[in-house]
Amino acid sequence: MDEAIRAEIINLREALDDGEMYVGPPATMADIASLTSAVWVEMAAKLPVEYLDFLENFDGLVACGVFIYSSHTRVRANGKLARYDFMRMNRLGRELGFMDNFLVFGDSDLDEYVLDLSRGKYQVRDRQAFDNVFEEFETFDGLLGHMVDLIVHWSKNQS
Protein backbone atom coordinates (compact mmCIF):
# COMPACT_ATOMS: atom_id res chain seq x y z
CA MET A 1 0.00 0.00 0.00
CA ASP A 2 1.23 3.44 -0.90
CA GLU A 3 2.68 5.22 2.16
CA ALA A 4 0.78 8.47 1.42
CA ILE A 5 -2.52 6.56 1.44
CA ARG A 6 -1.57 4.82 4.69
CA ALA A 7 -0.73 8.20 6.27
CA GLU A 8 -4.03 9.70 5.07
CA ILE A 9 -5.99 6.85 6.67
CA ILE A 10 -4.12 7.40 9.95
CA ASN A 11 -4.87 11.15 9.75
CA LEU A 12 -8.55 10.42 9.13
CA ARG A 13 -8.65 8.03 12.07
CA GLU A 14 -7.25 10.74 14.33
CA ALA A 15 -9.72 13.35 13.02
CA LEU A 16 -12.92 11.27 13.09
CA ASP A 17 -14.53 9.68 16.14
CA ASP A 18 -15.65 6.04 16.44
CA GLY A 19 -19.14 6.90 15.24
CA GLU A 20 -17.78 8.49 12.08
CA MET A 21 -15.11 5.94 11.18
CA TYR A 22 -14.41 2.28 11.75
CA VAL A 23 -10.96 0.89 11.00
CA GLY A 24 -10.36 -2.79 11.57
CA PRO A 25 -7.28 -4.01 13.38
CA PRO A 26 -4.55 -5.50 11.20
CA ALA A 27 -5.45 -8.83 9.61
CA THR A 28 -3.40 -11.78 10.72
CA MET A 29 -1.43 -14.01 8.39
CA ALA A 30 -4.11 -16.66 8.98
CA ASP A 31 -6.82 -14.16 7.93
CA ILE A 32 -4.88 -13.35 4.75
CA ALA A 33 -4.20 -17.01 3.94
CA SER A 34 -7.85 -17.95 4.48
CA LEU A 35 -9.12 -15.11 2.29
CA THR A 36 -6.57 -15.70 -0.45
CA SER A 37 -7.43 -19.40 -0.57
CA ALA A 38 -11.20 -18.78 -0.62
CA VAL A 39 -10.88 -16.27 -3.46
CA TRP A 40 -8.77 -18.69 -5.49
CA VAL A 41 -11.09 -21.67 -4.90
CA GLU A 42 -14.42 -19.88 -5.36
CA MET A 43 -13.53 -17.16 -7.86
CA ALA A 44 -10.40 -18.48 -9.61
CA ALA A 45 -8.70 -15.15 -8.96
CA LYS A 46 -5.72 -13.77 -7.09
CA LEU A 47 -6.05 -10.77 -4.82
CA PRO A 48 -3.72 -7.84 -5.53
CA VAL A 49 -0.73 -7.52 -3.22
CA GLU A 50 -1.69 -3.90 -2.47
CA TYR A 51 -5.10 -5.00 -1.14
CA LEU A 52 -3.48 -7.66 1.02
CA ASP A 53 -1.09 -4.98 2.31
CA PHE A 54 -4.09 -2.75 3.11
CA LEU A 55 -5.62 -5.62 5.10
CA GLU A 56 -2.36 -6.18 6.97
CA ASN A 57 -2.53 -2.54 8.08
CA PHE A 58 -6.29 -1.91 8.30
CA ASP A 59 -8.60 -4.90 8.02
CA GLY A 60 -11.58 -3.02 6.67
CA LEU A 61 -12.60 0.61 6.78
CA VAL A 62 -15.95 2.37 6.96
CA ALA A 63 -16.29 6.15 6.91
CA CYS A 64 -18.52 8.79 5.33
CA GLY A 65 -20.56 6.18 3.48
CA VAL A 66 -17.51 4.46 1.93
CA PHE A 67 -16.94 0.78 2.76
CA ILE A 68 -13.62 -0.96 2.06
CA TYR A 69 -14.12 -4.66 2.69
CA SER A 70 -12.30 -6.59 5.40
CA SER A 71 -10.81 -10.09 5.30
CA HIS A 72 -13.67 -11.49 7.41
CA THR A 73 -16.70 -10.40 9.44
CA ARG A 74 -15.54 -8.45 12.49
CA VAL A 75 -17.17 -7.39 15.73
CA ARG A 76 -16.92 -3.64 16.36
CA ALA A 77 -16.12 -2.18 19.78
CA ASN A 78 -19.84 -1.46 20.27
CA GLY A 79 -20.62 -5.17 19.79
CA LYS A 80 -22.18 -4.74 16.34
CA LEU A 81 -21.01 -6.91 13.48
CA ALA A 82 -19.09 -5.26 10.65
CA ARG A 83 -20.49 -7.46 7.87
CA TYR A 84 -18.75 -5.83 4.95
CA ASP A 85 -16.20 -8.56 4.42
CA PHE A 86 -14.75 -9.39 1.02
CA MET A 87 -16.09 -12.93 0.56
CA ARG A 88 -19.58 -12.18 1.86
CA MET A 89 -20.02 -9.16 -0.36
CA ASN A 90 -18.57 -10.85 -3.45
CA ARG A 91 -20.75 -13.93 -2.94
CA LEU A 92 -23.81 -11.68 -2.78
CA GLY A 93 -22.76 -9.91 -5.97
CA ARG A 94 -22.14 -13.15 -7.81
CA GLU A 95 -25.67 -14.30 -7.08
CA LEU A 96 -26.66 -11.79 -9.76
CA GLY A 97 -24.71 -13.69 -12.42
CA PHE A 98 -23.20 -10.73 -14.27
CA MET A 99 -20.67 -10.07 -11.49
CA ASP A 100 -18.67 -13.25 -12.15
CA ASN A 101 -15.91 -11.32 -13.94
CA PHE A 102 -15.44 -8.80 -11.13
CA LEU A 103 -13.91 -8.64 -7.68
CA VAL A 104 -15.58 -6.01 -5.51
CA PHE A 105 -13.35 -4.33 -2.91
CA GLY A 106 -15.82 -1.81 -1.56
CA ASP A 107 -18.82 0.37 -2.19
CA SER A 108 -20.60 3.58 -1.31
CA ASP A 109 -24.15 4.80 -1.74
CA LEU A 110 -23.46 5.58 -5.39
CA ASP A 111 -20.52 3.45 -6.51
CA GLU A 112 -18.90 0.03 -6.45
CA TYR A 113 -15.11 -0.29 -6.41
CA VAL A 114 -14.08 -3.29 -8.49
CA LEU A 115 -11.44 -5.12 -10.45
CA ASP A 116 -12.66 -6.04 -13.93
CA LEU A 117 -10.98 -9.44 -14.20
CA SER A 118 -11.39 -9.66 -17.97
CA ARG A 119 -9.65 -6.30 -18.57
CA GLY A 120 -7.33 -6.21 -15.54
CA LYS A 121 -8.52 -2.69 -14.66
CA TYR A 122 -9.63 -1.29 -11.30
CA GLN A 123 -12.80 0.71 -11.72
CA VAL A 124 -15.36 2.92 -10.05
CA ARG A 125 -18.73 1.73 -11.36
CA ASP A 126 -22.25 3.02 -10.84
CA ARG A 127 -24.16 0.90 -8.31
CA GLN A 128 -27.46 1.24 -10.17
CA ALA A 129 -26.28 1.25 -13.79
CA PHE A 130 -23.27 -1.04 -13.35
CA ASP A 131 -22.14 -0.67 -16.97
CA ASN A 132 -21.29 2.99 -16.28
CA VAL A 133 -17.57 3.26 -15.48
CA PHE A 134 -16.68 6.61 -13.87
CA GLU A 135 -12.97 6.10 -13.17
CA GLU A 136 -10.38 3.53 -14.13
CA PHE A 137 -7.01 2.74 -12.55
CA GLU A 138 -4.07 0.50 -13.38
CA THR A 139 -3.45 -0.49 -9.75
CA PHE A 140 -5.38 -1.24 -6.60
CA ASP A 141 -3.53 1.64 -4.92
CA GLY A 142 -5.05 3.99 -7.50
CA LEU A 143 -8.52 2.74 -6.60
CA LEU A 144 -7.76 2.82 -2.86
CA GLY A 145 -6.47 6.38 -3.17
CA HIS A 146 -9.73 7.35 -4.89
CA MET A 147 -11.80 5.82 -2.07
CA VAL A 148 -9.72 7.52 0.64
CA ASP A 149 -9.92 10.85 -1.21
CA LEU A 150 -13.73 10.54 -1.17
CA ILE A 151 -13.68 10.03 2.59
CA VAL A 152 -11.38 13.04 3.04
CA HIS A 153 -13.64 15.20 0.85
CA TRP A 154 -16.86 14.10 2.56
CA SER A 155 -15.39 14.43 6.06
CA LYS A 156 -14.33 18.02 5.33
CA ASN A 157 -17.80 18.88 4.02
CA GLN A 158 -19.47 17.49 7.15
CA SER A 159 -17.57 19.76 9.51
Query: Percentage of the chain surpassing pLDDT 90?
Result: 85
Whole-model pTM: value is 0.93
User: What's the whole-number average pLDDT of the chain?
Assistant: 93
CATH of residue 74? 3.40.1580.10
Output the CA torsion sign for 86, 89, 90, 91: positive
- Tell me how many domains the chain contains: 1
Phi first, then psi: what are they for 124, rounded to 5°? -105, 115
CA torsion through residues 24, 29, 32, 35, sign = negative
pLDDT in tens, 3-22: 999 999 999 999 999 889 99
Domain of residue 57, residue span: 3-158
d(CA 5, CA 23) in angstroms, rounded, equals 14
**Cα-based distances in Å from 100 to 33, 43, 93, 121, 123:** 22, 8, 8, 15, 15
